Amino acid sequence: MRRALPALLVALFLTGCSSGPDAVDVNDGGEFRFVEATPTGEVIPPDERATAPEFSGTLLGGGEFSSTELSGDVAVLNFWGSWCPPCRVETPEFQEVYADVRDDGVQFLGLNVKETSEQFALAFVDRFGIEFPSLYDPRGEVALAFRDYPATAIPSTIVLDREGRVAAVYTGEVSQEDLRGVLDLVLGEV
């Protein structure tokens, strides 16, 4: 029985990570949750888009960042944590997409949330060879600025158009194919 209990707990946790409405709280405040992925995200028609909130913070490894640095480009904001199993799947795929589109007017920015140590986040970035920058947001302050979209579900991804408006929202793991399709769509807008 003692040997079976840890395996049972792991199985229950993993089942909860993909259970949609029955998402499992992953922190003491219960504000950040794993959620089931939206099948293809929610693409917002251009005439219905709201301007994204401005934000700033400290990058992993040091240095300051302001959302004004995204101006004029399409931007992919990915809210992640090293503690998040779906993030371990999608982050390397995001790196592949980033490598293909970074010279096409697309910026990627990771937003590392609810991390107990910056070293865990840096190890995650190093392990997966991530080249795009990430803000270190252990208290989730930037994520809460986007709470209407909802960035408090981890992982979440928000695509901004060239005008800094929210063009697409994903909760849960994003497929590389869907992300590429949305980027093609938003890049093609005049």
How many domains does one find in the chain?
A: 1
Q: In this structure, what CATH number is given to the domain that contains residue 124?
A: 3.40.30.10
Domain that holds residue 44: 4-187
Q: What is the pLDDT of residues 1-30, one digit of tens each?
A: 444 333 333 332 333 333 333 333 333 343
- Identity of residue 37: A
Q: What is the pLDDT of residues 29-87, one digit of tens each?
A: 434 333 444 445 678 999 999 999 999 999 999 999 999 999 999 999 999 999 999 99
Q: Is the pLDDT of residue 109 over 90?
A: yes
Q: Is the pLDDT of residue 151 over 50?
A: yes
**CA-CA distance, 67 to 6, in Å (whole number)?**
43
Whether the full predicted model's pTM is greater than 0.75, yes or no, is: yes
**CA-CA distance, 171 to 38, in Å (whole number)?**
6
**CA-CA distance, 79 to 70, in Å (whole number)?**
16
